[in-house]
Amino acid sequence: MGTLDQSGIERENPDASKNDSEDEHYHLYNFPSMMYTPEMEPVRQFEEKGQYQKALDALEQVIQKQPDNPQYLNHKASLLSRMGRVDKRRLEEAKELLLKIIKDYSDNFTAREYLAMIYIRLGDGVKAENGFLELLKMNKTNAFANYMMGVLKFKRSYRKTNTRRAAETAVEYFERASDLKKDFLEKYSIGHYELITAYAWAGKIEKAIEFMQECIKKSPEMECGLASELGGIAIKQQQFWDAIELKTRALELDPTNAMDYNERGRAYSYLNQDAFAVEDYSKAIELDPSLIYAYQNRGILYVKTRNWDKAIEDLDFALERWPNYYGHYSRAIAHLRNGELDLALEDVANARKKGGTYKQISLLDELSALIQKYKRETSSDIDEVLHGGHNTRRYMLDMVRTKNLEDMDTRHLRKKERGYIGDTWHGSTEKKKMKGKSWRSAGGRYAHY
């Protein structure tokens, strides 16, 4: 593509076509080629050289002869869009031109498609989505419109609403596009991040890996980043062995990535592979001594494995730099088991400042009550006091959870199958309904980050 001088005139750039291809998302904005009539031959020649300003000037001469030809007007919008990669004002010109074309020719499918893509370039996802919806009303069998609706549905909703629901909606559009044109997704998955991650967030890790393999055939340099990203999503989808495999592949390609070791340690921890988890957390700390998450994760795991002194040491480091509910809560348990009751109560108070959900406050109340009980019965053995408490297992480390049911640990799933709600047995879940009670107390994930 040409470059603009101070006057806004585009100059010749012999490397224009190369620059276009380097944009991984350019295929979304590169409007399809039109049939070139003989009078359009000069326009075509300038376009091939990347001299878009000269191509536009030549096209204006053609339009003067046929000012009402929508095909030429659409092509002008396409040229303005290409020039808009270096001058956003050109995108606004293209938008206004396309709105005029649609006003005069309401059934002009090409103009509506161009306009929707212009809105993407301008960062207006709502209007882009509405534009592709209008296209689907005109032609439900358009594979590209279905595909772009999938991209927009997922991209606009990512981390703002229910991510899994947004991903599932996106996948529906992707699969519809694939049904309409069998090789469509394979073509557009190359270098396209949203398609792969949408399948992963929708719980279809195998499908995501399949498209990742297609992607890295042409772009091998993307394998490390995609494997790392999919591994992180797999953890959230509770597909822990897939997560370990993906993170391991990412680490083979980049063995210096401390965060990947930390996240693989999380996956091992969920699977009760504590020795491997500690090893990965320790490696993460070795690579990045300032990685607070790894210190906290290892400290929590030490509480789980009843290594109280090491747990306190790691949690001291993490909490000094990042005070948070789970760190204080876990360290309170370690202090309690070490008989350091005042320090345990102090951590409970600090955790109470950080925690705000009903579940978190309830756990803190029970832990505080047990600490107070032990203070009154100092002659008693700590284990006797703990095991004599009401629902003691609820506040022990392996019961530290959040309210997110989708991130539930597999052990809680097995408890549900045996008829438990939280730590209370309610008989067989197949024979006895929960009578409207929420099962949120039964789910959640460990305090890993």
CA angle, residues 270, 272, 277, in degrees to nearest 5: 80
Sign of the alpha-carbon dihedral angle for 3, 6, 10, 11: negative
Which pLDDT score is estimated for 297? 95
- Report the range of poorest mean pLDDT among 254-263, 283-292, 416-425: 416-425
Residue pLDDT, tens place only, 378-413: 645 555 545 444 333 344 433 333 323 233 333 333
Residue type, 137: K
Q: What integer is the mean pLDDT of 366-379?
A: 79
Which pLDDT score is estimated for 174? 87
The answer for 183, left when phi > 0, alpha when psi is -120 to 50, beta otherwise, is alpha
Which pLDDT score is estimated for 160? 55
345 pLDDT exceeds 60? yes
223-236 helix and 240-253 helix, angle to the nearest 10 degrees: 160
Q: How confident is the model at residue 49 (pLDDT cuts 50, 70, 90)?
A: confident
Q: What integer is the mean pLDDT of 356-369?
A: 86
- Rounded Cα–Cα distance for residues 173 and 145 (Å): 9
CA angle, residues 164, 168, 169, in degrees to nearest 5: 120
Q: How far is CA 107 from CA 55, 129, 206, in A?
A: 27, 18, 40
Which pLDDT score is estimated for 68? 83
- Eight-class DSSP state of 425: E
Which pLDDT score is estimated for 446? 31
Sign of the alpha-carbon dihedral angle for 47, 48, 54, 58: negative
Which pLDDT score is estimated for 39? 80
Q: What integer is the mean pLDDT of 156-182?
A: 78
Residue pLDDT, tens place only, 74-122: 889 989 988 888 888 999 999 999 999 999 998 899 999 999 999 988 8
Residue found by looking up tokens 């396309």 in the block: 98
Which residues, other chains included, contact 359 with Cβ-Cβ below 8 Å and sequence gap of 6+? Answer: 401, 403, 440, 441
Instruction: For residue 420, report the phi and psi dihedrals to the nearest 5 degrees.
Output: -95, 145
Residue type, 264: R
191's tokens: 């270098």
Q: What integer is the mean pLDDT of 34-58?
A: 83
**What's 371-397 look like in SS3?**
HHHHHHCCCCCHHHHHHCCCCHHHHCH
- Rounded Cα–Cα distance for residues 176 and 154 (Å): 15
- Rounded Cα–Cα distance for residues 299 and 293 (Å): 10
Own/partner pairs, 434-441, CB within 8 angstroms, 24+ separation? 439/405, 440/359, 440/403, 440/405, 441/359
Mean predicted lDDT score pLDDT of the chain = 77
Q: What one-character-per-residue DSSP string does 118-137 give?
A: HHHHTT-HHHHHHHHHHHHH
Which pLDDT score is estimated for 382? 57
- Rounded Cα–Cα distance for residues 430 and 414 (Å): 14
- Rounded Cα–Cα distance for residues 192 and 314 (Å): 40
Q: What integer is the mean pLDDT of 127-156?
A: 89
Residue type, 207: K
Q: Counting runs of H as helices and runs of E as strands, what totals does the chain give?
A: 25, 4
More confidently predicted of 240 and 184: 240
Q: What integer is the mean pLDDT of 286-301?
A: 95
- Rounded Cα–Cα distance for residues 194 and 212 (Å): 11
- Rounded Cα–Cα distance for residues 281 and 298 (Å): 6
Q: How confident is the model at residue 184 (pLDDT cuts 50, 70, 90)?
A: confident
Please give the radius of gyration of the chain, using alpha carbons only, rounded to the nearest integer: 29
Give the number of residues written for the chain.
449
Q: How confident is the model at residue 355 (pLDDT cuts 50, 70, 90)?
A: confident
Which pLDDT score is estimated for 24? 38
266 pLDDT exceeds 50? yes
235 pLDDT exceeds 90? yes
- Rounded Cα–Cα distance for residues 146 and 152 (Å): 10
Neighbours of 134 (CB within 10 A): 16
Residue pLDDT, tens place only, 205-225: 888 888 888 888 888 888 999
More confidently predicted of 70 and 191: 70
Which pLDDT score is estimated for 237? 86
